């Protein structure tokens, strides 16, 4: 299993440069999903390239998410879908991460997933982890 060290110097541009901090979105995001969806001032993010994630990665994430949340096959889950919007609670979220780890053969540190809001964010993170592991 490829593993990411957050303190490694292989990190490229920190998240704050490629993704501006969004306005606070009310309290519910912290409370319902304490895993994702809150901005922090910690540094040391996985290497996220500014290029979009590959469509096949995004599709795979959608598939894993749909399966975990028991959504219908024709339910709309796209790269833009937000985890908070899909009704994933903290338990769903960790199971989704486990599903991603199993499929992509990676290890996702809890801290590296903290800024993931959308399916596309997750796909980018996965590709970043794989890319770093292959360096």
Partner 1 sequence: MLRLHRRNMLQPVGSAVSRHLSTSCSPLPPTPLPHRREVHLWYIKPEEINDSSSQLKQYMDLLSPCEKKGVLSLSSERHQKNAILARTLTRTTLSRYCDGRVDPGSIKFKKGLYGKPEIMWQDGDNIIKPPLQFNLSHTSSLIACAVALENPIGIDVEENERQTVKSVLSVAKRYFTVSEVEYLAAVPYPDIQQKEFIQLWTLKEAYVKAIGRGFSGAPFKNFTIEMGSDKRAPKMHIEADSDCEGLADNCQFALMELNSSHVVAVCMERDQEISGDENNLLRLKVWRTIPFIEDELVSGTETVNYICGLS
Which residues of the shown chain bind partner 1 in the complex (CB under 8 A)?
23-32, 34-42, 67-68, 70, 84-85, 87, 89-91, 94-95, 98-99, 109-111, 113-114
Q: Report the residue number, 52 or 91, with the smaller CB distance to partner 1.
A: 91
Catalytic residue among 74, 85, 89, 92: 89
Write the DSSP symbol of residue 19. S
Question: Per the structure block, which two tokens stand in for 88?
Answer: 């994933």
Q: Is 85 a catalytic residue?
A: no
**Cβ 113 to partner 1, closest distance in Å?**
6
**Cβ 54 to partner 1, closest distance in Å?**
25
Cα–Cα distance measured from residue 4 to residue 13, given in angstroms and rounded to the nearest whole number: 16
Under 8 Å between Cβ of 100 and 64: yes
Cα–Cα distance measured from residue 72 to residue 115, given in angstroms and rounded to the nearest whole number: 27
Q: Report the residue number, 49 or 80, with the smaller CB distance to partner 1.
A: 80
Cα–Cα distance measured from residue 37 to residue 57, given in angstroms and rounded to the nearest whole number: 21
Please identify every residue annotated as catalytic: 89
């Amino acid at each position: 299993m490829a593993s990411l060290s957050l303190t490694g110097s292989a990190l490229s541009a920190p998240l704050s440069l490629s993704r501006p901090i969004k306005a606070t979105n009310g309290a519910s995001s912290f409370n319902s999903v304490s895993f994702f969806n809150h901005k922090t001032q910690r540094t040391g993010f996985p290497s996220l390239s500014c290029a979009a994630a590959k469509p096949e990665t995004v599709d795979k994430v959608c598939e894993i998410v749909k399966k975990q949340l028991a959504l219908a096959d024709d339910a709309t889950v796209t790269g833009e879908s937000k985890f908070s919007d899909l009704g994933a609670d903290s338990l769903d979220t960790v199971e989704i991460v486990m599903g991603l780890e199993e499929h992509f053969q990676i290890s996702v540190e809890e801290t590296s997933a903290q800024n993931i809001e959308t399916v596309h964010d997750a796909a980018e993170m996965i590709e970043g982890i794989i890319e770093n592991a292959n360096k």
